[in-house]
Amino acid sequence: MDFGSPTTYHLPPTASSPLLAIDPSLRSTGFAILEGSDQKVRCLEYGVIHNPQSLSVAACLKNIHERLAEAIDKYHPEAMALEQIIYVKSLSVAIVMGSARGAALLAAEQAGLSVYEYPPKRIKQAVVGRGGAVKDQVGFMVRALLGLRETPPSDAADAIAIGLTHLRAMATVLPSNVKVSKTKKEKRFTAMEGIEGMKEK
């Protein structure tokens, strides 16, 4: 299965249910398939869904959706984790970012996955130890934490970090500390700001 990335990493899947973690972007959506718990995590696959500038927005969204649907069909995750929408000054950028997220959320909804969202600073705090970490630090830490043979591309590293944040949150947050909102077919979970052990410095 080709995710359009020159760098992918695979391990044979095991019996536990994997997690699909996504760092959505119109031109370079990072993804990762993780399984395990906060104490022991395996990365089954990671990569980047590249969309060249020559592709239209609609074609990019179609490609993102199809590639994620393929990953879901291959690994059968029960949940998707992704970064919460960040504040952007440009309306056009916000629309593009929202569209990429929409393609990912549609794939999750069609497969019946639960969706978990985490603030950007919480993700960096969980993986690096501080909310102001830069991308290089995130990449270094995910490689070290998972014992990867190489440092993942930055978008894939961000997706792995999102997945690690989710696994840590599930290990430390009681159900009463998780905010749940439901639509007809979708359950979306947002980790509360007071996640134990993940306070900002």
pLDDT, greater one: 2 or 102: 102
> Would you say residue 136 lies in a domain?
yes
> Would you say residue 73 lies in a domain?
yes
> Would you say residue 168 lies in a domain?
yes
Q: Please indicate whether residue 23 is annotated as part of the active site.
A: yes
> Would you say residue 3 lies in a domain?
no
pLDDT at 36: 87
Helix (H) or strand (E) holding 31: strand 28-36
pLDDT at 168 over 50: yes
pLDDT at 133: 85
Residue 55 exposure: Cα atoms within 13 Å on the Cβ side:
15
What's the domain count of the chain?
1
Tell how strand 9-10 and strand 41-50 pair up: antiparallel
pLDDT at 56: 96
Residue 65 exposure: Cα atoms within 13 Å on the Cβ side:
16
Rounded to whole angstroms, the Cα distance separating 70 from 89 reads 34
pTM as predicted: 0.78
> Would you say residue 65 lies in a domain?
yes
Rounded to whole angstroms, the Cα distance separating 107 from 27 reads 17
Residue of 35, 45, 117, 155 with catalytic role: 155
- Please report which confidence band the pLDDT of residue 14 belongs to, taking 50, 70 and 90 as the band edges: very low
pLDDT at 200: 41
> Would you say residue 56 lies in a domain?
yes
- Please report which confidence band the pLDDT of residue 164 belongs to, taking 50, 70 and 90 as the band edges: very high
Q: Please indicate whether residue 158 is annotated as part of the active site.
A: no
Residue of 35, 83, 117, 158 with catalytic role: 83
| Interval 39-92: pLDDT, tens | 789 999 999 999 999 999 999 999 999 999 999 999 999 999 999 887 777 888
pLDDT (average), residues 171-191:
44
| Interval 118-163: pLDDT, tens | 999 999 998 988 777 888 899 999 999 999 999 999 999 999 999 9
> Would you say residue 157 lies in a domain?
yes
Domain CATH number, residue 28 = 3.30.420.10
Q: Please indicate whether residue 109 is annotated as part of the active site.
A: no
pLDDT at 165 over 90: yes
Domain that holds residue 102: 9-191
Residue of 23, 35, 45, 117 with catalytic role: 23
| Interval 183-198: pLDDT, tens | 433 344 444 333 333 3
Q: What is the DSSP string of 44-91?
A: EEEEEEE--TTS-HHHHHHHHHHHHHHHHHHH--SEEEEEPPPP-S-H
> Would you say residue 87 lies in a domain?
yes
